[in-house]
Amino acid sequence: MTATAATPAEQTGARTDEAARLITGARERIDALDDRIIGLIQERMAVSAVIQEARIGSGGRRVNLSREMEILGHYRDALGKPGTTLAMTLLELCRGRV
């Protein structure tokens, strides 16, 4: 038995070819955005490492909780409650679990 290639409509769940084309294009944009977001997160992690190294090198603590609260508030204000979860994930990626 040979496998047949799925049509664009079948691949996207759309009911028409026009909708399938729109979905396919939008998914390509999302993939490109995700790549940019991942790159920005990696850049943020590198900058955070520099900050932590400087803070620890000067005798300070690895984490500045008041700054983290500012970041949580900023994301919550911009994105609502899910923004807090996103910010927590970013903070964890950038400084590890506390």
| Beta-carbon contacts of residue 66 (< 8 Å; ≥ 6 apart) | none
Instruction: Report pLDDT for 7.
Output: 78
- Do 75 and 40 form a contact (C-beta atoms < 8 A)? no
Q: How confident is the model at residue 6 (pLDDT cuts 50, 70, 90)?
A: confident
pLDDT at 74 over 60: yes
pTM of the model: 0.82
- Do 30 and 73 form a contact (C-beta atoms < 8 A)? no
Instruction: Report pLDDT for 1.
Output: 53
pLDDT at 34 over 80: yes
